């Protein structure tokens, strides 16, 4: 999916992918909804690209065995090199002996 797609196109593409996953697992919408613990309309809306709650999306993805998709939405935060430089302790020098 290109980065410049409008939101509604992204939702439609996600819906197509969810539908494809469901069909590959030979599930109908009602069965998926029951297993995910969501209403049938939630599955229908997700597949139609009409959106839903994040909680419902997580439940459906988990039920389809694709919770890993969520990892790309919340990557592990790492410390930037600039933050490392700022947090580095001040350099200490040996004292001069007279």
Q: Convert the pLDDT of each residue in 25-38 to its tens digit.
A: 999 999 999 999 99
pTM over 0.75: no
Residue 72 is predicted with a pLDDT of: 77
> Domain map of the chain by residue range?
7-68
Q: Convert the pLDDT of each residue in 38-85 to its tens digit.
A: 999 999 999 999 988 999 999 999 999 998 888 777 766 677 666 766
Alpha helical stretches, state H, 1-98: 7-24, 29-36, 40-47, 54-63, 81-87
Topology at the third CATH level for domain 7-68:
434 Repressor (Amino-terminal Domain) (1.10.260)
Q: 9: how many CB neighbours lie within 10 A of its CB?
A: 13
DSSP helix/strand/coil, 24: helix
Confidence of residue 89 (pLDDT cuts 50, 70, 90): low
Confidence of residue 1 (pLDDT cuts 50, 70, 90): very low
User: Would you give the distance in Å from CA 1 to the centre of its chain?
Assistant: 14
Instruction: Say if residue 4's pLDDT is above 90.
Output: no
């Amino acid at each position: 999916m290109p980065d410049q797609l409008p939101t509604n196109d992204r939702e439609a593409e996600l819906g197509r992918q969810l539908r494809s996953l469901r069909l590959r697992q030979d599930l109908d919408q009602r069965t998926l909804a029951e297993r995910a613990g969501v209403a049938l309309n939630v599955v229908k809306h997700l597949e139609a690209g009409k959106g839903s709650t994040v909680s419902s999306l997580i439940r459906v993805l988990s039920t389809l065995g694709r919770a890993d998709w969520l990892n790309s939405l919340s990557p592990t935060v790492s410390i930037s090199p600039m933050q490392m430089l700022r947090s580095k302790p001040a350099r200490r020098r040996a004292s001069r002996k007279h």
